[in-house]
């Protein structure tokens, strides 16, 4: 569902990510293009969305190269774990022919994320279709 209070596509995407963070208790979420340029983000104080965008793009390029060399199908998710119980989850998807990356930082091993990220990707596609079709 597209946020009712959005005044632009960028505003709508930011609200979608804020909702994702609130529902999932995530510290940061960011939507980037395949080059790592931030399209929208939401974060708690002290978290740097630009750094996460760069990491997501680097991950996308690395798995694209590795996948093609190994003859693997396109990868749609990558997860990185830290020694401090943090996870960086990157989901790769398309919206209206544009390759996008949704990345979230999750603190704690027990925190679930797949359902919320799937719902968010659906909402991003809806916003994209409405504002940039």
- pTM of the predicted model, to two decimals? 0.84
Domain-located, residue 33 = yes
**Which segments of 1-48 does DSSP mark as H helices, in order?**
9-24
- CA nearest to 85, candidates 113, 53, 59, 111: 111
User: Which residue positions in the chain have pLDDT lower than 50?
Assistant: none
Which domain covers residue 100, as residue numbers? Answer: 26-132
Q: What pLDDT, on a 0 to 100 scale, did the predictor assign at position 107?
A: 86
Interval 89-99: pLDDT, tens? 889 899 999 98
Q: What pLDDT, on a 0 to 100 scale, did the predictor assign at position 27?
A: 85
Domain-located, residue 68 = yes
Domain-located, residue 65 = yes
Q: What pLDDT, on a 0 to 100 scale, did the predictor assign at position 1?
A: 59
Domain-located, residue 84 = yes
Domain-located, residue 7 = no
CATH number of the structural domain spanning residue 49: 3.30.450.30
Beta-strand relationship, 77-81 and 86-95: antiparallel
Q: What torsion do the CA atoms of 28, 31, 33, 35 make, to the nearest 10 degrees?
A: 0
Domain-located, residue 87 = yes
Q: What pLDDT, on a 0 to 100 scale, did the predictor assign at position 4?
A: 67
How many domains is the chain built from?
1
Q: What pLDDT, on a 0 to 100 scale, did the predictor assign at position 109?
A: 80
């Amino acid at each position: 569902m597209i946020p009712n209070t959005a005044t632009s596509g960028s505003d709508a995407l930011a609200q979608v990510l804020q909702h994702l963070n609130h529902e999932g208790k995530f510290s940061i979420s960011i939507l980037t293009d395949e080059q790592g340029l931030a399209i929208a983000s939401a974060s708690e104080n002290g978290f740097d969305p630009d750094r996460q965008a760069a990491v997501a793009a680097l991950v996308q390029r690395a798995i694209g190269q590795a996948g093609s060399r190994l003859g693997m199908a396109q990868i749609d998710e990558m997860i990185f774990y830290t020694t401090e119980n943090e996870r960086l989850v990157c989901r790769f998807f398309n919206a209206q022919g544009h390759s996008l990356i949704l990345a979230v930082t999750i603190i704690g091993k027990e925190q679930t994320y797949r359902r919320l990220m799937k719902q968010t990707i659906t909402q991003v596609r809806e916003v994209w279709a409405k504002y940039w079709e």
